[in-house]
A = this chain, B = another copy of it.
Amino acid sequence: MVDFNVTILGCGSAKPTLRHQPSSQIVNHGGTFYMIDCGEGTQMQLVKCGFRQGKLRHVFISHSHGDHCLGLVPMLSSFALEGRSYDLNIYASSDLIEFLQNQISFFIHNASFEIIFHSIDCQHPTVIYTDAKLKVTAFPLNHRVPCYGFLFQENMGERHIKKDCITQYHIPYDRIKEIKCGADYTLSNGVVIPNADLTEPPASARSYAYCSDTRPVMRWAELLNGVDLLYHEATYSNHYQSLAVEVFHSTAEEAATFAIQCHAKRLLLGHFSSRLNGEDELLQEALRIFPNTSLANEGLEVRIG
């Protein structure tokens, strides 16, 4: 199986603290890096965590609050200075894209690479990226401004051909691809070897969901059903429940309840308020409801699935 993990670059909320950076994370699937959100200072976090920018090809911005996107233009400026050659795809709401384009025109001249923008303005879950191995679905969250969650799902891969069958039946190299796709194989004497005897099913598809910033949105529990890892914001503890409602954030208990609804396998809490003295209170609150809960932290890498 290819690598599939997420590394937290920042898991604080809007007001900065010495404990946490603003939101950003890197999803690594098979050596390609997908960034989610890009708060101030993200480029330094990339360097600190040892990520090479050349492998970063896609940046998904959940919404237009500064702590989720104000690190983008500084990062792109540095990429231009470094003479980056690879295209970079940016997925964001249309109004943020227009704003970013103005910023880029102002600060970055003669960039050595293409920046390709993709609008997210969906009312319903919408696939915004797909390749042979992975697809990303955006789904609307419930925040003060339009805001999107992201579901990363592996596409079911090809079936695996059994190596001993290749030897036994003298299967030529140029037939392997079609067998991996489900074809039977006919021997020179006319005997048909069924695909089920030649191959094994692909590994099950793994998935990761990012939900920040938002009130819990129970109607997405089915979309996220069985997700291997759920990152959900837990800006506040229950002590601030009415504030969470007022400013469209979640408590740790609400995040854990949502994880239960999704039948998530693991929950990672993030987007911690500067009002907290630490996050242990959030962890304890969530653990009472959903035992497989962890706290995000800068530099933390979590395997998906």
Contact = CB atoms under 8 A, between A and B. Distances in A.
Interface stretch (A37-45, A153-161, A195-203, A279-287): A37-45
A64 B77 CA distance: 13
Interface in A69-109: 70-71, 73-74, 77-78, 81-82, 99, 102-103, 106-107
Contacts of A14: 77-78, 81
Contacts of A40: 40-41, 43, 71, 74
A170 interface: no
Interface of A: 14-18, 40-41, 43-44, 47-48, 64-67, 70-71, 73-74, 77-78, 81-82, 99, 102-103, 106-107
Contacts of A41: 40-41, 44
Contacts of A106: 64, 99
A106 B64 CA distance: 9
Nearest to A48: B18
A107 B43 contact: no
16 contacts: A14-B81, A15-B78, A15-B81, A18-B44, A18-B47, A40-B40, A40-B41, A41-B44, A64-B107, A66-B74, A66-B107, A67-B74, A67-B77, A70-B70, A70-B77, A99-B102
